[in-house]
Amino acid sequence: MRGYQGTNLANPDSILACLKHYVAYGAAEAGRDYNTVDISHRSLRQVYLPPFKAGIDQGAATVMSAFDDLQGVPASANHYTLTQILRGEWGFRGFVVSDWNSVGELIPQGVALDQATAARKALTAGVDMDMESNSYGPTLQKQVQSGQIPESVVDEAVRRILRVKFAMGLFDHPYTDESKGNITSLDPEHVATARTVAEESFVLLKNAAVSGAPVLPLASSAKTIALIGPLADSATDMLGSWSTKGDPKDVVTLRQALSDRLAQSQGKLIYAKGTDILTNSEAGFAEAVSAAQEADVVVAALGEDAALMTGEAASRAHLNLPGNQEKLLEAVASTGKPVVLVVFSGRPLILDWEASHIPAILEAWFPGVQAGPALVRTLFGDANPSGRLTTSFPRAVGQEPLYYNHMNTGRPADGVDLSHPPTDAKEKYLSRYIDEQNSPLFPFGFGLSYTTFQYSSMTLSAQSLKADALNNGSAALTVSAEVKNTGTRAGAEVVQLYIRQQGTSVTRPVRELKGFQKVVLAPGESKRVEFKLGRDEFAFWNIDMKDVVEPAKVTIWVGPNSIEGSEAAFTIQ
């Protein structure tokens, strides 16, 4: 909100922030765009509404209604979410704009038989601006004149839009300086920032030892590097989906940056594309294998097609490396040379085979114009990876939806070896798969570094607090832990705090992230990290659908991800 809108909407460089897509669009069935959503009211309140509330609290001026239907009511005709909650409970004074044609799509969704009805239902629910469907212009006047729509409803929608336009200063200064949009070259400072942002987004998923030392960072002895894969030299893909004015000519690819780096050190780069992203042809395999055989180390740049396979309308039913890329990787790995897999993707992929056979894996997403320099600096250790996963990586598609903050079952498979099918009744009649483990391949919050960190035991400011005191804001718990860099390199650790509450009126997740801090530590340096937990951290929507703190047994973890960490007990009385 601050980045887009600044401190004053009337400033010439301010633009309206838009919260989207309101609401629960992230829960679309089968992970398919534009699909229906059917979640409980508690999940709506507990999980999906809070991020929007946070945006409203920060002053977001606009909200976009979503494509989905929610509990049988389309989001773009949902009076409960658009008016009762957004305006009534939260006091939102900006305007709501429909998603592209989402008003017109009320007809195929089945709640309107014609354009006029779609317009009436959307407007009276709280959609002030119709984007693209052109349902409002041709139909609203007649419906007001016939009494189907109160004139006051139209007045209020107009008032909301005008209020924002006045705040933007559009009536005093209706035109902008168009010359500021004519960017012919990137600002060097912006380029440096783009590289830093890319470096900090990379997540090191695996870094096993080969010949006694971790594969990454690449050693100076790696004089000849084979760079293989369809994403090694694809400028367009590096920009990702919805790149707006991003220009491939500004992109420095991994091939270009790696070539420049090796030229400085008198090294040698052997490049072989190997395959395209979507093909069954193995015509380039022999060249790729030959390149690997000549090299000291292989860097494989594999993943998704950014335009086709990520962003909107790019749902996938198969989450493995697309095409025959895994087969190419198998062929290259069979040479016995150390392989670093750089994964470019817009979603978690299934990397089960890769994690078992490839010693080093770096998730790069789509890093932007400085993709190459950022990756080369990271591969050679000039930059130390500090990114952490904001989603769980599955072992198999059948695990989805897979998320760390799930509820516990009455038959948990705790302590049971799930790496093989059940051998007796004690192993079988549990909440488990018979052909896969329950756990993710890489958990939420996970990410490795080129150094190591050690956590001390936690200290709590109290062993118990009263629920009433937490509810009225007169009490809070302070949690602290010491983190030490036990390695030989400076590095950044993302210290994460999770809680679990038991004995409550409704089930609570096995873990919930309630705080995180990024600390940069020199080798041997320690720092005490402190978190404060109060009403916001302990409250939840209880059995009476009230947002309160309840008496509970609380387990607290401080650690590097959602499955590790030191543990302490706390009681809410």
Strand partners, 494: 518
- Catalogue the E-assigned strands of 39-196: 62-65, 69-70, 73-74, 95-98
Residue pair 135/118 in contact (Cβ under 8 Å)? The answer is yes
How far apart CA 416 and CA 402 sit, in angstroms, is 19
Longest CA span, the chain: 82
The H-or-E segment that residue 540 falls in is strand 540-541
237 is catalytic: no
- The angle subtended at Cα 373 by Cα 524 and Cα 517, nearest 5°, is 40
Neighbour count for residue 22 (Cβ, 10 Å): 26
The structure tokens listed for 217 are 């960072």
Catalytic residue, from 33, 38, 68, 99: name it: 99
Phi-psi bin for 357: left (phi > 0), alpha (psi -120 to 50), beta?
alpha
How far apart CA 217 and CA 145 sit, in angstroms, is 72
The structure tokens listed for 188 are 């060097």
Strand partners, 210: 213
The structure tokens listed for 139 are 């139909």
Residue pair 62/95 in contact (Cβ under 8 Å)? The answer is yes
Residue 344: how many CA atoms within 13 Å on its side-chain side? 34
Strand partners, 464: 571
Give the DSSP per-residue string, 36-79: -B---HHHIIIIISHHHHHHHHTT--EEEE-SSEETTEEGGG-H
How far apart CA 27 and CA 20 sit, in angstroms, is 13
- Going by the DSSP 8-state scheme, the letter that residue 217 receives in this structure is S
Closest CA to 279 of 349, 316, 233, 327: 327
The structure tokens listed for 48 are 């999906």
Site of tokens 């080129």: 450
How far apart CA 357 and CA 431 sit, in angstroms, is 29
**Which of the residues are catalytic?**
99
